[in-house]
Structure 1
Amino acid sequence: MRLKQQSNIYYMHTTLRYSNFLKFAALTLLTFACHLSFGQSKYNPSDLFPALPILPAGNEYRAATGEPGPAYWQNQSDYVIDVSLDDKNNLVTGTVTVTYTNNSPKALSALWMQLEQNVYKKDSKGVLAGLFLYKNPEEKITDGGFDITDIKLNDNNGAKIDYQVYDTRMQLHLPQTLKSGQKISFSIHYSYRFPVNYKNADFQVNRTDLLQTKDGNIYAVAQWYPRMCVLDDVEGWNTLPYLGNGEFYLDFGNFNVNITLPSSYIVEASGDLLNPEEVLTPEQLKRWKLAKDSSEPVFIRSAKEVKDAGSRPAKPTCTWKFKMDNTRDFAWTASKSFIWEALSFPVSDEKRIMACSLYPAESLKPNSWARSSEYVKFTLQYFSKKWLTYPFNKAVNVASNLDGMEYPGMVFCAAKDTGNMYWAVVNHELGHTWFPMVVGSNERKYAWMDEGFNLFMDNMATKEFNKGEFIGYKEIDIPVTALFADTLKPIITRPDAIPGNQVYTIEYQKVAYLLALLRNQVLGAGRFDRAFSQYIRNWAYKHPTPFDFFRSINNSTGEDLTWFWKSMFIENFKLDQKITRVENSAKNKTRIAIENMEKAVMPLVVEITYASGQKELRTFPVEIWEYTHSYTFTANKAEPVTKVIIDPEQVYPDVDRTNNVYQAN
């Protein structure tokens, strides 16, 4: 077709009279000039609109439609944990019994486990990498982390399993091969020491900690037991060391956890409390049962009762028993200082849950923890209605020394936070229920798939909360152009390879901004929300990769968004749309040429103002950039144009707006 068109043009040129030829040539040159940037553009259409897919082909495990394939598999890890807390030495000691089911098609001769808290040992990779810093590296301090006593099979012989510890990983050599479809059960006797070197260490990343309060320490207990590494069809064994930024990748399974400690402590945890009558006073038990059906907060232990010895059972120790099914992790908290309030509310027509807030007296402030129940209720109801029903029977919000950290059914938020920051942290940490507690992505490699997705949802929830109480606080606290700085790593970069000062910008803010852009400008809210919900349903309690997400959105919306995923997520491309020519005329319609100066593209929105003052808004799809870096169009009115603006509402991330405006002299 193109050769035929060129031949026709040549024939016209040779048959026209000379004067007409000059007029035609002039018009041709004018049109030609409108389309060229004389080598200044960096844009290459084939980078963003390739014929061959940039995503790997679908297979029997992961379908090309972005869904789990017909042969998708994942292994299951079930835990029974019996531990005691030595609060004098800040030491957890006990046994974790693991029942591991090999659903993979491969027989296994060895297993891998995670010992993340070994990062607190003085010579760990995390310390040497600089994410965990010791103020005085020459001073001898007590290591945190795990000590393994032994590992034994749970069979008639109780044979020992040989193992080696490599920093934050542990390899178990099985005495017999674990075939596909088989289970193995083994017990690990271990101790775990809290990292409490307040004077000697300055931990930049802390996900387990102690908070000292006037009425006693608050233990935030996480990554506190040896956990199975994930074996999947993508990477095999996922054994990246824990360095700090990259969080966690875990199997789903069932938990039964028993925690013994002095009876003066209040304990809460991820799962359902099985024995309230054994660990609560008669009055607390009455209040606990009342709270399970109360839409208003009930104080199981009030601020006035914290110092009252009678607010705890009169026996040396209590064993708190919890159970949680189909979950990826388990965390708990304990303190003598806790005020404990609880209420219940529906998260769907069929389901009602219990929500608990535990905090010290210092945090009981009107613009802080006094609003915990309100924030928890709104967040879980909003996300349940918008995306997927909250999956657990209980939600626990705990005041801690952590700025914010999430676990299934339990979150740790800063005891000191107030105002907007307190709302933002509670909303964000609870939002992690959906990513990654339900949609179990690999946080060690793709932190943006939980942090960025979650912040995107948080921003939507904030607009809806209490008639916009917190609207006015910036969703992005830097200029949008800073999200595309040349120094930034691409979103898809491994978390531990991202400089510390870029983590929040890339993994949180840029991803949240881009998803909102895709939702509000490219696809439309209804279309995007249906696709995002479908992705959550498809991968609930499974392990998606970035490619699964990209393909899921593509297929649900019916769009090939390669240009978006490639430029915005896989690369750090920039957008710069420029007005290159406005051919104004008093008699003819004005021709306007727009050029892509950088490597990224977006749909084009142009506002035209005529001499009469009338305005015209033109929108063009992203497909105008499929084969060229320049696009020329004609205004609708045969009237002089006085002004042209690209993207007048500034909804797209153009990095140079100085070339977005034409103003007639």
Structure 2
Amino acid sequence: MIKFLAILIMAFTGHLSFGQSRYNPSELFPALPLLPPGNEYRTATGEPGPAYWQNQSDYVIDVSLDDKQNLIKGTATITYTNNSPEALSSLWLQLEQNVYRKDSKGILTGLFLYKDPDKQVADGGFEIESIKLAGNNAADITYHTYDTRMELKLSEPLKSGQKLTFSIQYRYHFPVNYKNADFQVNRTDLMPSKNGGIYAVAQWYPRMCVLDDVEGWNTLPYLGNGEFYLDFGNFNVNITLPSSYIVEASGDLLNPEEVLTPAQLKRWQSAKESSEPVFIRSAKEVTKASSRPVAPMCTWKFKMDNTRDFAWTASKSFIWEALSFNLNNGKRVMGCSLYPVESQKRNSWMRSSEYIKFTLQHFSEKWFTYPFNKAVNVASNLDGMEYPGMVFCSARDTGNMYWAVVNHELGHTWFPMTVGSNERKYAWMDEGFNLFIDNIATRAFNKGEFIGYAEIDVPVTNLFADTLRPILSRPDAMPGNQVYTVEYQKVAYLLTLLRNHILGPDRFDNAFRRYIRDWAYKHPTPWDFFRSINSSAGEDLTWFWKSMFLENFKLDQSIAKVDNSTKNRPLITIENMEKAAMPLIVEITYASGSKEQRTFPVEIWEYTHSYTFAANKKDAISKVVIDPKQVYPDINKVNNVYELKK
């Protein structure tokens, strides 16, 4: 009798209160394509087309460092190859050091703010001494400077297929932020240390702007958040400075016998074959004059091919260690770490070699083989900044954060140093993609010893706050407090969601590897990425790209009704209350105590905001839970649970 009454009490239609749905299926499942049509340059399948082109910029740079005045003086000889189908009457270059001028757009817009606005500081930026054509006709080239951009006016158009070589003689004083961190943003820096300052030398030469088939000349000013978009080319760099300095750089060192002591040369050669770290200069030797050549000056010569940029470092204070290891294809790579004695800690820079080796081997095997012959990790004032073959990481980080920053900065080798996206417009294709692969690497490293960026992670629901800008926003138009949340965390979260719960790891990984392979050393746009994944996975993911990347749509799946009154199987109605859609997972508990889990594809939302389905058993339902493991980013968990009131 008691059991019979209980069944009678449970056998009723359960109605839940809910508001009006904001969901519009036609926004996510349009008949017309969301993405622009493919063309001969960029195909509809997300690959470079048969007529795809990009220009090449090759550099020969002779530069010197005056450490008394903190003055960089150089001559950059640039050979520019016009592979575009059109003749060019002008060339455009980037002059990022000009952001340190008092009237720069970066300072006036507030991104390169002085921390103390009343402080009087020296005006910075490039001083261009001359620009001349190379060769016998070494005539001057007319140029105009506009903030961080420079236009060269050509006397004759540079025709398709032609090359032009010209030299720029320039100088600049190192930015003032090395003294008291006067600027809020610093990507080129001088850090004090006990045994001498550490120069992080980046954005240090005039660099060609990219001319592409999408936007023509990419001449957005350098303001701060938007980083870099660069041609690929070959570099030969000669760096002259007092011989008391140790120098490392992006490329391969060509003249070790001229810049190292005999003892250091033997160690350097040994490190190229050693799987264990070799100290080319140890902590005990840092203050010894014998650890450097006796000549007053040294010229360090480096070479790097098929790369988009070049950076270098110099300091009297460096401990220098190196090792070598094989990658997945048998290629042997050298890993170098340079840091001051203050950073020689067991939970910090003493593990640099270990982190370099793991990161390069893991990413090479998982995604795409590391493209350079060397990876250099430098302790600096910078929280973390990446360049081809060289990264600057914080000299002060320890433990989890030190692992995270080294892994992340080296991860930028793949995005954007290999896959050369436009960071100035699409930072998420650089930072977010990188954080996504970093998170996979972190779980794999040393049985999960570290947990990534947990110190600054936020709950998933915070990634969909109303105030956030869409992912597809220009970086410099992104509020500073949203940059990490949107461009890093949200993108990494969404790619993980797509990988683990929508496509599956094997399917996604194959598509992601295909995208990297197709666009290595090229310039993809967001449309190329979306089309590439769609094509490789065989799925139209318009609903995903639209709601999650182009818009800041939210997900709210709600239990609208549980009907136990039917004579057959109970009916359950789920509604999409917000503008995003995702697949549906529902866990059902019957009055008998048994459970079942039902999974439905995203296509159930193609024409309606409401979906009704029948349970598998002719048994009253006591509980329904949407997404019990919280796989999807539902912002309102309150309406995800129905329980029968007895």
Shared fold, TM over 0.5:
yes
Cα distance between partner residues in 2 of 1:280 and 1:523? 52
Residue 200 to residue 423, structure 1, CA distance change in 2 (3 Å): closer
Cα distance between partner residues in 1 of 2:453 and 2:268? 37
Aligned positions, number: 634
Q: Does 1:176 align with 2:156?
A: yes
Identity of aligned residues (%): 79
Conserved 8 A contact 2:264-2:280: yes
Cα distance between partner residues in 2 of 1:277 and 1:124? 43
Match of 1:186 among 139, 159, 166: 166
Conserved 8 A contact 2:271-2:323: yes
Q: Which residue of 1 aligns with 2:35?
A: 55
Cα distance between partner residues in 1 of 2:452 and 2:212? 43
Q: Which residue of 2 aligns with 1:322?
A: 302
Q: Which residue of 1 aligns with 2:643?
A: 663
Match of 1:242 among 222, 229, 241: 222
Q: How do 1:11-410 and structure 2 match up within 5 A? A: 40-197=20-177, 202-410=182-390
Conserved 8 A contact 1:587-1:639: no
Conserved 8 A contact 1:272-1:323: yes
Q: Which residue of 1 aligns with 2:600?
A: 620
CA-to-partner distance for each residue in 1:389-434, whole Å, 9 max, x for gaps?
A: 0000000000000000000000000000000000000000000000
Q: Which residue of 2 aligns with 1:27?
A: none
AA of the residue aligned to 1:624: I
AA of the residue aligned to 2:369: T
Cα distance between partner residues in 2 of 1:140 and 1:349? 55
Deviates more, 1:95-104 or 1:473-482: 473-482
Q: Does 1:595 align with 2:575?
A: yes
CA-to-partner distance for each residue in 1:140-176, whole Å, 9 max, x for gaps?
A: 3212221100100003120100001100000000111
Q: Which residue of 1 aligns with 2:539?
A: 559
Q: Which residue of 1 aligns with 2:454?
A: 474
AA of the residue aligned to 1:633: F
Residue 369 to residue 489, structure 1, CA distance change in 2 (3 Å): same
Q: Does 1:432 align with 2:412?
A: yes
AA of the residue aligned to 1:573: F
Cα distance between partner residues in 2 of 1:210 and 1:651? 45
Counterpart secondary structure, 1:117: helix
Counterpart secondary structure, 1:145: coil
CA-to-partner distance for each residue in 1:178-204, whole Å, 9 max, x for gaps?
A: 000000000000002211245676322
AA of the residue aligned to 2:251: G
CA-to-partner distance for each residue in 1:469-493, whole Å, 9 max, x for gaps?
A: 0148639711111100010000000
Q: Which residue of 2 aligns with 1:534?
A: 514
Conserved 8 A contact 1:275-1:321: yes
Cα distance between partner residues in 2 of 1:196 and 1:356? 28
Residue 169 to residue 472, structure 1, CA distance change in 2 (3 Å): closer
Alpha-carbon distance, 1:588 to partner: 2.7
Residue 123 to residue 175, structure 1, CA distance change in 2 (3 Å): same
Task: Choose 1 or 2 for highest CA Rg.
Answer: 1
Counterpart secondary structure, 2:182: strand
CA-to-partner distance for each residue in 1:496-536, whole Å, 9 max, x for gaps?
A: 00000000000000000000000000000000000000000
Deviates more, 1:426-435 or 1:135-144: 135-144
Alpha-carbon distance, 1:626 to partner: 0.4
Conserved 8 A contact 1:119-1:145: yes
Cα distance between partner residues in 2 of 1:476 and 1:457? 18
CA-to-partner distance for each residue in 1:77-118, whole Å, 9 max, x for gaps?
A: 000000110001111102000000000001001000000111
Counterpart secondary structure, 1:132: coil
AA of the residue aligned to 1:380: L
Task: Work out which structure has the larger RCO, using CA pairs closer than 8 Å and 6 or more positions apart in sequence.
Answer: 2
Residue 569 to residue 365, structure 1, CA distance change in 2 (3 Å): same
Conserved 8 A contact 1:398-1:410: yes
Conserved 8 A contact 2:178-2:192: no
Cα distance between partner residues in 2 of 1:48 and 1:587? 36
CA-to-partner distance for each residue in 1:279-321, whole Å, 9 max, x for gaps?
A: 0000000000000000000000000000000000001000000
- Root-mean-square deviation (CA, aligned residues, Å) is 1.6
Counterpart secondary structure, 2:93: strand
Alpha-carbon distance, 1:366 to partner: 0.3
AA of the residue aligned to 1:308: K
Cα distance between partner residues in 2 of 1:133 and 1:471? 33
Q: How do 1:430-469 and structure 2 match up within 5 A? A: 430-469=410-449
Residue 399 to residue 201, structure 1, CA distance change in 2 (3 Å): closer
Cα distance between partner residues in 2 of 1:243 and 1:568? 26
AA of the residue aligned to 2:52: Y
Alpha-carbon distance, 1:135 to partner: 3.8
Conserved 8 A contact 1:400-1:412: yes
Q: Which residue of 1 aligns with 2:4?
A: none
Match of 1:646 among 610, 620, 626: 626
Cα distance between partner residues in 2 of 1:376 and 1:181? 40
Conserved 8 A contact 1:218-1:337: yes
AA of the residue aligned to 2:284: K
CA-to-partner distance for each residue in 1:32-78, whole Å, 9 max, x for gaps?
A: x99x9998100000000000001000000000000000000000000
Cα distance between partner residues in 1 of 2:455 and 2:598? 28
Residue 586 to residue 182, structure 1, CA distance change in 2 (3 Å): closer
Alpha-carbon distance, 1:612 to partner: 1.3
Counterpart secondary structure, 1:110: strand
Match of 1:573 among 544, 549, 553: 553
Cα distance between partner residues in 1 of 2:18 and 2:313? 65
Cα distance between partner residues in 2 of 1:348 and 1:204? 40
Conserved 8 A contact 1:78-1:100: yes
Q: Which residue of 2 aligns with 1:16?
A: none
Conserved 8 A contact 1:131-1:203: no
TM-score, normalising length: structure 2: 0.96
Q: Which runs of 5+ in 2 are unaligned?
A: 1-11
CA-to-partner distance for each residue in 1:251-299, whole Å, 9 max, x for gaps?
A: 0000000000000000000000000000000000000000000000000
Cα distance between partner residues in 1 of 2:201 and 2:313? 6
Counterpart secondary structure, 1:156: coil
Q: Does 1:584 align with 2:560?
A: no
Conserved 8 A contact 2:94-2:206: yes
Q: Which residue of 2 aligns with 1:513?
A: 493
Conserved 8 A contact 2:115-2:184: no
Residue 234 to residue 578, structure 1, CA distance change in 2 (3 Å): same
Cα distance between partner residues in 2 of 1:39 and 1:262? 72
Alpha-carbon distance, 1:348 to partner: 2.2
Conserved 8 A contact 1:586-1:639: no
Cα distance between partner residues in 1 of 2:180 and 2:644? 66
Counterpart secondary structure, 1:213: coil
